[in-house]
A and B are shown apart, each in its own frame.
Chain A
């Protein structure tokens, strides 16, 4: 049984017809971009309301929890940005917002690690999902970098110690020539612009990959005939 979408109202359809979809425009970059995007991720795949029956465990909530924690990290970071980097040292409200920012980071990494453990034990890279795994690992690494620049931006004893210690590790790789951890201005700009943008982009790709490929199916059960009922030529791996 399939669900048939109700036809859009005639007026809307006329507007859509005016805007796009003429065969003579099909070679346009815009038309090709739209068609390949819609083909890869039609709305029903982008926001599905059903999942395979095996998606039935609390372990599956840790991905979305990580994303929600990231949203709170960014939101509290934006609040800190409103009043500037000195605010939380001189205002109790500022210190509270800083506390929200710190604890949301702890919750973010907590959820991310539990999510990572779950995905590892599910071997979630199977079935053309290697890129999902890789973007996840890279997101983790960039997040560590973002947290690191955050600790460096605190303008207190902790950031003094972290910067004067971390400089040795970073200098040994040559990166210290460009990435100067004792340069507060540089570190806070990486922390509030470059690295959050990278994290958001990577997490965005990661989530889209999950929608594209679907949630990984379980390993074959005992005695299960894998591929027996799949038609010959079924896709498994690119």
Chain B
């Protein structure tokens, strides 16, 4: 004989043990919630205080355009060249920064494309030409800018292509960028002066305050820095790279965000680990899994796992001892007052 229940709306249906449970009519016992809360609060405060005194917290200094170009001027120059010629990661990103790249898609869905460009970035202008034009007292720079801007696009492209090949073999000697000789027009001067500007610390400010005094939006300098190898190398040394499960990690030896284990797992395996659409694929997987977790109470099979694994027998062992000793009904554990 299977148990039945009557719902609030009057329907009679079978009691499903993974969905339903009869209301408790058994014994109650004193339980001081306020005292429990107070003790828990004191324990947590002591625990947190102890951990903070023992271990402190990390605070690795940020990279600046200045520190980057000082530590690795060649990487900086190479990156600046790709920003000027529109081949950098940011320049070819696509939405939300520009339309020079394809938005990620999964099947017919390409939400970044639908939302479009909301943080427009023209890397040549925003990262190179614009900041250089804030140096009006430098006639060499102004002349190079004028020459570059007045040249037709095809001429600019040919200078950029030649320079990009050459800067791959650049060196930094005696405080100056040295590239093999070639016909780069004003591009060599522009990049060399941009490197000097960066090393002097003037580029950080120029990238940030292009339009307003009080800035809190660091998108431009961050994207510029992230286009280079320097930041990525620092991260890799700290085991923070995507393919190192870095999403879970913290700088140094601190514990990080262990709760991100499942999110970062999908980046380590096919297809996401090599696909151009890896990010949206992982996101789709996580949406599905998260929905399953949230709606677990409604999913037959999954919601039966607790009953099948019987770990609850351990948790409620005192209760089961009482009930099973009393002959199998909860009447044995009737309320006593």
Q: How far is the CB of B140 from chain A (nearest CB, A)?
A: 32
What 1/0 flags go to B292-311 for Cβ under 8 Å of A?
01111110000101110101
Task: Assess whether B294 is in contact with A134, with CB atoms less than 8 Å apart.
Answer: yes
Task: Assess whether B323 is in contact with A52, with CB atoms less than 8 Å apart.
Answer: no
Alpha-carbon distance A184/B215, docked complex (angstroms): 9
Q: How far is the CB of B298 from chain A (nearest CB, A)?
A: 7
- A230 touches which of B22, B57, B112 (Cβ 8 Å): B22
Q: Does B250 contact A (CB under 8 A)?
A: yes
Task: Assess whether B62 is in contact with A160, with CB atoms less than 8 Å apart.
Answer: yes
- B7 touches which of A64, A67, A227, A236 (Cβ 8 Å): A236
Q: How many A-B contacts if CB must be within 8 Å?
A: 329
Q: How far is the CB of B274 from chain A (nearest CB, A)?
A: 15
Q: Report B-chain residues with C-beta under 8 Å of the C-beta of A101.
A: 57
Q: Report B-chain residues with C-beta under 8 Å of the C-beta of A144.
A: 259-260
Task: Assess whether B17 is in contact with A47, with CB atoms less than 8 Å apart.
Answer: no
Q: Report B-chain residues with C-beta under 8 Å of the C-beta of A201.
A: none
Alpha-carbon distance A31/B312, docked complex (angstroms): 43
Given contacts A49-B33, A177-B115, A172 and B290 within 8 Å (CB-CB): no
Given contacts A68-B37, A95-B59, A177-B95, A223 and B219 within 8 Å (CB-CB): no
Task: Assess whether B20 is in contact with A161, with CB atoms less than 8 Å apart.
Answer: no
Given contacts A51-B31, A95-B57, A224 and B329 within 8 Å (CB-CB): yes
Q: Does B151 contact A (CB under 8 A)?
A: no
Q: Report A-chain residues with C-beta under 8 Å of the C-beta of B219.
A: 180, 182-183
Q: How far is the CB of A161 from chain B (nearest CB, A)?
A: 5
Task: Assess whether B218 is in contact with A65, with CB atoms less than 8 Å apart.
Answer: no
Q: Report B-chain residues with C-beta under 8 Å of the C-beta of A185.
A: 216-217
Q: Does B25 contact A (CB under 8 A)?
A: yes
Given contacts A69-B44, A185-B217, A225-B329, A177 and B96 within 8 Å (CB-CB): yes
Q: Does B72 contact A (CB under 8 A)?
A: no
Alpha-carbon distance A151/B249, docked complex (angstroms): 12
Q: Report A-chain residues with C-beta under 8 Å of the C-beta of B13.
A: 237
Which 10 A-B pairs rank lowest in CB-CB distance, beginning with the nearest? Answer: A185-B216, A174-B111, A125-B297, A236-B5, A172-B279, A164-B226, A99-B52, A51-B31, A157-B60, A177-B118
Given contacts A120-B305, A174-B112, A237-B20, 11 further A-B contacts (CB under 8 A): A51-B29, A57-B315, A61-B40, A69-B48, A95-B57, A137-B290, A164-B225, A218-B319, A226-B3, A235-B6, A237-B7
